[in-house]
Structure 1
Amino acid sequence: MPSDETYDAAVLANPAPSVGHLLRERIAATPDRAAYSYPEGVAWGEMTWAQLGDRVWRLAAGLVDLGVEAEERVAIACSTRIEWVLGDLAIMGAGAATTTIYPTTIADDVAYILDNSGSVVVIAEDAEQVAKLREVREVIPDVRTVVVVDPEGVERDDWVVTLDELEERGQAVLEATPGVVDERIEGTGPDSLATIIYTSGTTGRPKGVRLLHSAWTYQGAATTATGMMTQDDVQYLWLPLAHVFGKQLLMLTLATGMSTAVDGRIDKIVDNLAVVRPTFMAAAPRIFEKVYARVSLGMEAEGGAKLKLFRWASDLGRARADAEQEGRSLSPVQKAQLAVADKLVLSKVRDRFGGRIRFFISGSAALNTDIAQWFNGAGLTILEGYGMTETSSAATVNRPYAQRTGTVGWPLIGTEVRIAEDGEVLMRGPGVMQGYHDNPEATAETLDADGWLHSGDIGEIDERGFVRITDRKKDLFKTSNGKYVAPSQVESTFKGLCPYVGQLLVHGEGRHFVTALVTLDEEAIKPWAQANGLGDATYQEIVSSAQARDMVQGYVDELNSGLNKWERIGKFTILGRDLSVEEGELTPSLKLRRRVVADKFKGDIDGMYAG
C-alpha cells in the first residue's frame, strides 16, 4: 500500500515565501490553463491564470492607490464568488492582510471585527453589506474606504467606490509605476501577516486568529506533497470563503494549478454539478446527510423491486468499501455481482455528481460512518479531515491511498499530532497560528511554550497512525450519575438512522437522564407527510403531529438499542422549525452552536425534566 513517503515531500523544504510569490509562480508556470470558472448571467465564464493575474495586479495596485500599507488589514464581507477570490489575491499582492467577514454577520459584530482588526478598507458585496457599514460607521473610524462589488442600490459618496473603479485606478497606477505590485510581493515574507479569521464563538466576542503567509504556503505545499490532487483536477467550490476551510481550498488551487468552479449559492449545487462535472469537492457533513436521505427516501417511496435492488447494490458497495480499507479482495462471485450492481444502481448515483468525482473531502464536523461507507461503496469516496481555524484548516486528512472510515486520517506531512494525558488532541507545525489578535491571554491558554496547540477536542491515535476525534472537550457532559456522555457521537449516529432529521442536540449535564431537541428537515419530511395522511398539513402541523412523534420515537428506540444505559435518550422534543445560520444556531459551515441552541430553547429542555 502506498504511503506519504511514496510522494515527493521535497516541496515542503522550499515553499514559496508568501501567497503573492505562490500566485506569481503559478501564473508563470501555467499562464494559459483555466484557473477559475464562475456564473456569468445564464452561462459560465472562465479565466486563465494569466487573465486572473492581470485583474489581480490591477486591483492590488488600486489598493496601493487607496493608501493600503504592508500588513494593514483589508476586510472582505462577501459571499463565495469570483470577486471574493480576486479581492483576497489582490490583498495578498498588495502585501496587506485579509480580514474575513461572513455576509450574514450582524452589524454589531461587523463593527467589532473591523475595529479589533484595525481594517482600513472593506470590500463589501452589495447594498445590504454597505448599509450595515453605514449603520456602524461612527465606531469604525479606521475604515477609510468601502469597495462595493455590486453597486446597484448603493448610495454613492466619497466613502464608497466600486470594484470596477478600483480596478481602473489600479490600471492608471500600473501605467505610471509598472513594478509597484511586484515590489509589494518582494517585500512580503513567510512571517508577514496574511489573514485574520474570527472564530465563530458561542459566547462572548469572537477571537481573531492571526495566520501568517508561511501557514498558507505550507497548506498548499503539504497537500500537494501527498499527491492527492494535480493540475488536471477540477474543483467545485461553494463553501464560505470567510471560513478557514474555504480559504485553504483557494491555496490548493494555487499550489496545484487545477481549475476551480466557484459559486456559493447552495440552492444551485445540484444544477452546477451537472455542468462543472468536478473531480473533487469539499463539503460539510450536512450536505452528505441530505443527499443520502434524499436518495434513500426516494427508493423507499418506489418500494418493491426497485427498493430491493437499491438495498442489494448498496450492501455490495459497502462490502467493497470495507474490503478496500482492510486490504483484501472481494470473492469472484461478489465481484461479478458488484459489476451488475454498479451498472444498474451505483453508477447512477455517481452521475448525480457529474460522473467524474474521484473523492470528496468532508470537514468541520463528524460524519456518520454508515453514510460515509454508503458513499464509499458507490464509488464516491469521502475522505474526512480535521483541523481548526487555529491550524489554518487541515491538520489531518485521510488519503485516497490510506483511508479508514470513522477517522480523520493521518497528519499532514510536517504536522505533529499527539494525545495529552486527559485525551486532548495537541498539534504542532507550520500551519499553526501566530496567536489571537490583540489577545495574549487567550493565546497563552491555547498555545503552550513548546508550540503545541491545545485543540479542545478529545481524540485517539490508532496503531496505523490514524487520528480519531471522539468529541469536543467542552461538549462532553457528565450526568448526575457521574457518567460521561459524548453528544456528537450520539447525534451523528442518529443522523445515520433517521433520514428525516434536520438537527439533534443531546443534553443532560448534571441531570439524571439524557434528553434531545429534534428538528425535522423541511424538504425530507414532505413526502413522508404525504404518505402518512398529512399531505395538506403545514410544516408546524406535521412536526407537532402524533404521527411524527411516533416516527421519531421509533428511530430513537433504534438508537438507544446501541447505546450504553446512561447515554440513552429518555425524552425528546420536536421543535417547530429547523435550526439555521440566519438565526445564529448554526455556524456558516453548518456546525451546531450548542450553547446558543440550549439557551434559546431552555424552556423546552427544562420542560422535559419537569416533575
Structure 2
Amino acid sequence: MSVAFRLPLQVFFEREARHPRQRFLVQPIGGGEVQTLTWGEAGHQARCAAHWLRARELPQGSHIALISKNCAHWIIADLAIWMAGHVSVPLYPNLTADSVAHVLEHSEAALVFIGKLDDWPAIAPGIKPGLATISLPLCPKGEFDFTWADLQASSPIQDDPAPAATDLATIIYTSGTTGLPKGVMHTFGGLAFAATRGTELFGLGEGDRLLSYLPLCHVAERMFVEMAAVYTGQTVFFAESLDTFLTDLQRARPTALFGVPRIWTKFQMGVYGKIPEKRLDLLLRLPFVGKRVGRKVLAGLGLDAVRVALSGAAPVPEALLRWYQRLGLDVLEVYGMTESCGYSHVCRPGQQKIGWIGLPCPDVEVRIDPAGEVQVRSGATMLGYFKDPQKTAETLTEDGFLRTGDKGEQDTEGRLRLTGRLKEIFKTSKGKYVAPAPIENRLAEHGRIEQVCVVGDGLSAPMGLCVLSAVGQQEAAGEARQSLHASLERLLEEVNQVLDKHERLRQLVVVKDSWAVENGFLTPTLKIKRNIIESTYGPQFQAWSARSEAVLWQD
C-alpha cells in the first residue's frame, strides 16, 4: 500500500492501531538476551513520554536533545518528542565534551535524553548545570534529573498529534570533516518526501528486517532505518557492540542493509582472515562450486538473506563491488547529503554500472554547473542551517538547488559519477590541481590497504598515506613484509600509469597509526578528516618527499 503524502507520525499511528502486537524493535540487553518491543508497546511508551514532556509546558517547538548510541529507546524518544510538539536534536554518542557543549548551546536545547553510551564521563562535562537530563533504559551509571520510569508513570496521551508538513521536525548536526558542525533543519514534509519515495524504490515491507548499527543521529541511518521502518513496517534489530557485531548480524539476518564502504571492506577482511584471498579466489572461479562457496561466505557473515545491500557516505572501490558480485550480492551505491535528507541518487537493482552511482531518485532534479559541481533540488532539501543565514545562502542557490560541493558528471541515461570534492582539490608546488578522491579509490583496491589519504598541497608531487588492514599489519610485522612491500610498489606503479602526469604519486607512506573515530582521524560515519591527517603528518611531508624510495614505512 502506498504511503505517499503521509507524514511520519501519521504512518506510525496507523501501524500502531493496525497491528499493535507485531514485532517492531529487537534490542540486545546483554548476556545474549534481547528485549522485543511491538508497535503497540513502542507507541504506549512514546505516548507516556509525550504526556510527561507536555507537562513541562515548554514553548511549542522547543528543541530537545538526544545523546545515545543506537537502541530501541532512541527511536521511541524521537517519536515522543514529536508527539509532544517539539523538535529532536540528535548528537553523536562519541563527541567530546566541548563538542557536546557547542551543539547543546547552539541548538538551544531545553532538555536532553541520555541513553546507551560507552564513555559517559567524557561527555558529561559538556552538559551545563541547569539543563535537565532524562535517562533512557541502558543508560550509563550517573546522576540524572529524571529517569525513563518517571516518564512512564504518566498516562499515555490519547490523541494522535498531527504536526504540519512545514513544521520543523529535527535539526541534524553534520559530523563535520572540517570545522564546527552545522545544524541542518528538516521539516516533517521533507522527511516524508524522502521516506515515501525512497522506500518504494526497493519494494520492502513488513516481512523485512533491518540491522541498526551506524549512528542513528546521521541522516543515512535515520532515513534507512527509523523512517524506513515506520513507512514499510520492517522489524529493526540493534547491534549491541563492536565485539558482538557478527552475532547481532546473524541474529537479525537482515534482508536490507546499509553500510559505509569501510564496513563492506571490514566484512571482506574478516573473510580473508579465515580463508586466504588466493584460495577463495580460486574456489569462486570453479563452476558450480563457486556459487555454493559464495553463498556459504555470505551465510557466515549473516548476509545470506540480504535482498537490498546499499553503500553510501563515500565512494566504494570498484574491486570491492566486483568481489561482492562474485559472492552473489549486488552492493548498490547511494548518494545523498544531510542537507538533502540523504535523498538524491541510488543505483537501481539490475541496472548497476560499475564506477557510476546511479540514477536520480524520483522527483529529484539534478544539474551540473559550469565549475562541474553537482547541484540537486527536491522536496527533501533542507530548510537551511539553524541560526546561520550566511552559510544557508552560500549552500542553497536562489532557485532552491543545493550546492553539494561534489564535482561530477552524468552519462546519457542520467547516471551520476563523482570526480572529486571541490574543497578537497589541492594545488601542488608546480601550480597543478589534483583531486584526491579518485586516486584514493584506486589505491583502496589493494587487499591490504584499509584506509588511504592522498595529500600534496604545496608539494612537488602528491603522496599517498596508507593504513594497513589487520592482515596487512600481521604481514608487515613478519616474514611476509618483503612481499607486501613489493606489492605496494607494484600498486604505485599501476596507479601512476593511469593518472595524468601532474597527478602521479611520488610515493606511498605506510603510517603506523590507526585512523579511528576515537582518536579523531575519522568522523562518526567513518570518513577521513583530511585536516587532522594533514596537521598530524604535515611536518614530515617535505622530508618524505625528499626520499627516493617508492614505498616508505613510518618509523
Aligned to 1:412: 361
Structure with the largest fraction of helix: 1
Deviations 1:506-540 (A, max 9, x none): 0122332111222122x22354257626xxxxxxx
CA distance in 2 between partners of 1:515 and 1:560 (Å): 11
Aligned to 1:254: 230
Structure 1 residues 567 and 460, CA gap change in structure 2 (3 angstroms): same
Aligned to 2:553: none
CA distance in 1 between partners of 2:202 and 2:59 (Å): 37
Whether the 8 Å CA contact 1:70–1:95 is kept in 2: the answer is: yes
Aligned to 1:110: 100
Aligned to 1:47: 37
Aligned to 1:425: 374
Q: Give the count of matched residue pairs.
A: 544
Whether the 8 Å CA contact 2:63–2:109 is kept in 1: the answer is: yes
User: Is 1:92–2:92 an aligned residue pair?
Assistant: no
Aligned to 1:281: 257
Aligned to 2:451: 503
Whether the 8 Å CA contact 2:209–2:234 is kept in 1: the answer is: yes
Structure 1 residues 530 and 115, CA gap change in structure 2 (3 angstroms): closer
RMSD of equivalent CA atoms: 2.4
Match of residue 292, structure 1, among 255, 258, 268: 268
Structure 1 residues 285 and 137, CA gap change in structure 2 (3 angstroms): closer
Aligned-residue offset at 1:495: 1.3
Match of residue 164, structure 1, among 149, 152, 156: 149
Aligned-residue offset at 1:145: 3.8
User: Is 1:154–2:142 an aligned residue pair?
Assistant: yes
Structure 2: 5+ residue stretches without partners: 548-555
CA distance in 2 between partners of 1:264 and 1:211 (Å): 29
Aligned-residue offset at 1:406: 2.0
Whether the 8 Å CA contact 1:123–1:149 is kept in 2: the answer is: no
Aligned to 2:492: 556
Match of residue 267, structure 1, among 236, 243, 246: 243
Aligned to 1:312: 285
* Range with bigger deviation, 353-362 or 64-73: 64-73
Whether the 8 Å CA contact 1:34–1:46 is kept in 2: the answer is: yes
- Counterparts of residues 81-480 of structure 1 (less than 5 Å): 81-125=71-115, 131=121, 135-138=125-128, 143-150=131-138, 153-156=141-144, 160-168=145-153, 170-171=154-155, 174=156, 178-179=157-158, 182=160, 185-186=161-162, 188-249=163-224, 250-263=226-239, 265-296=241-272, 298-300=274-276, 306-307=279-280, 309-310=282-283, 312-313=285-286, 337=287, 339-343=288-292, 345-354=293-302, 355-480=304-429
Question: Given residue 114 of structure 2, which amino acid in structure 1 is its aligned partner?
Answer: A
Deviations 1:537-571 (A, max 9, x none): xxxxxxxx777655533432333333333222212
Aligned-residue offset at 1:230: 2.1
CA distance in 1 between partners of 2:40 and 2:3 (Å): 23
Q: Secondary structure at the match of 2:444?
A: helix
Question: Given residue 166 of structure 1, which amino acid in structure 2 is its aligned partner?
Answer: L
CA distance in 2 between partners of 1:312 and 1:128 (Å): 43
Deviations 1:203-262 (A, max 9, x none): 432111011111111121011332442222111121101111111121011111111112
Whether the 8 Å CA contact 2:358–2:416 is kept in 1: the answer is: yes
Whether the 8 Å CA contact 1:435–1:443 is kept in 2: the answer is: yes
Aligned-residue offset at 1:296: 4.2
TM-score by length of structure 2 reads 0.92
Deviations 1:347-367 (A, max 9, x none): 112212332111311010000
Question: Given residue 403 of structure 1, which amino acid in structure 2 is its aligned partner?
Answer: Q
Whether the 8 Å CA contact 1:515–1:608 is kept in 2: the answer is: no
Structure 1 residues 210 and 264, CA gap change in structure 2 (3 angstroms): farther
User: Is 1:596–2:540 an aligned residue pair?
Assistant: no
User: Is 1:30–2:6 an aligned residue pair?
Assistant: no
Match of residue 468, structure 2, among 499, 513, 520: 520
Whether the 8 Å CA contact 2:28–2:240 is kept in 1: the answer is: no
CA distance in 1 between partners of 2:107 and 2:86 (Å): 12
* Range with bigger deviation, 24-33 or 96-105: 24-33
Structure 1 residues 66 and 573, CA gap change in structure 2 (3 angstroms): same
* Range with bigger deviation, 441-450 or 289-298: 289-298
Aligned-residue offset at 1:148: 4.7
Aligned-residue offset at 1:133: 6.3
Aligned to 2:550: none
Question: Given residue 321 of structure 2, which amino acid in structure 1 is its aligned partner?
Answer: A
Aligned-residue offset at 1:413: 1.1
Structure 1 residues 137 and 291, CA gap change in structure 2 (3 angstroms): closer
Question: Given residue 123 of structure 1, which amino acid in structure 2 is its aligned partner?
Answer: F
Whether the 8 Å CA contact 2:453–2:465 is kept in 1: the answer is: yes
Percent identical residues:
30
Whether the 8 Å CA contact 1:502–1:578 is kept in 2: the answer is: no
Whether the 8 Å CA contact 1:78–1:125 is kept in 2: the answer is: yes
Question: Given residue 124 of structure 1, which amino acid in structure 2 is its aligned partner?
Answer: I
CA distance in 1 between partners of 2:438 and 2:203 (Å): 29
Aligned-residue offset at 1:24: 0.9
Question: Given residue 102 of structure 1, which amino acid in structure 2 is its aligned partner?
Answer: Y
CA distance in 1 between partners of 2:326 and 2:118 (Å): 44
Question: Given residue 300 of structure 2, which amino acid in structure 1 is its aligned partner?
Answer: R
CA distance in 2 between partners of 1:418 and 1:427 (Å): 7
Aligned to 2:552: none
Structure 1: 5+ residue stretches without partners: 1-7, 314-336, 534-544
TM-score by length of structure 1 reads 0.84
* Range with bigger deviation, 465-474 or 445-454: 465-474
